[in-house]
Structure 1
């Protein structure tokens, strides 16, 4: 009887560990407000991922464009996400995003590894990722809403 209980306990521990490890792959972290970002917000849809920093003048100029674009693109199953280039976290990230007036979701966890985003030494940089998780475009420099919509439409038509 004791051996059965030990075997059952080991099995339960293995299953719990496997479940926890399986969930780690889907961790996309939190946003600038500390709220968990559901993996469903990133997978199965097109993404516009914009890297910004407080010290970047062109970043400051394009943020209102991205703010206006985010709700419009959400209706087309396209998510607009920001990532702080300097890796700010927690309250620092929240303060920086608030100071710049960012209304779209800022990811505290950089998705570069998840999507194979190539590193960039210049800002701003915006990546367009398709609904299969493949990087389709790297746009260096300040973007505007009309230009991003046009690029997205062309890329989506090609897929």
Structure 2
């Protein structure tokens, strides 16, 4: 029989490792918190009607391919769900995961009035920077490298 202290430590260890999951992606696949914890996140808000978003998406796809240490996540600004979200993401050629649930409250991200809006979130879950307007893969990669090294 386990001691009460050992049982308590086991329960606390299990609870300490459990965070609320992030819902699902555009394909209905669950996004477990453990997939994102301790990783740098780039969260991009986009909409079908946003011209700069359309030209930025290929850059974000490139960043996701060339920087596997960064998790690129999209969020539809208009709150599309289900099949509408799938179709919109496909129409823009999005290759990275799109969150069905907006993480703004979870991460303390301020709502942006303009698009595209990109948030850089460090491995501790703190927003480090908000970038407004169209970004490039090279520019984002360089900025993330600066933030990671503290320069």
> Same-fold call, TM > 0.5?
yes
**Distance (Å, rounded) in 2 between the aligned partners of 1:31 and 1:110:** 11
SS in 2 for 1:101: coil
**Unaligned stretches of 5+ in structure 2?**
1-13
In our comparison, the structure showing a higher alpha carbon Rg is: 1
**Distance (Å, rounded) in 1 between the aligned partners of 2:37 and 2:101:** 15
- The match for 2:36 among 36, 42, 48 is 42
1:52 counterpart = 2:46 = yes
Poorly superposed stretches of 4+, deviation over 2 Å = none
**Distance (Å, rounded) in 1 between the aligned partners of 2:120 and 2:85:** 23
How many equivalent pairs are there?
136
1:94 counterpart = 2:86 = yes
The answer on whether the counterparts of 1:41 and 1:79 sit within 8 Å (CA) in structure 2 is: no
**Distance (Å, rounded) in 2 between the aligned partners of 1:119 and 1:103:** 24
Larger fraction in helix: 1
The answer on whether the counterparts of 1:52 and 1:125 sit within 8 Å (CA) in structure 2 is: yes
Q: TM-score, normalised by structure 2?
A: 0.86
CA RMSD of aligned residues (A): 1.7
Q: TM-score, normalised by structure 1?
A: 0.81
1:68 counterpart = 2:48 = no
**Distance (Å, rounded) in 1 between the aligned partners of 2:89 and 2:104:** 19
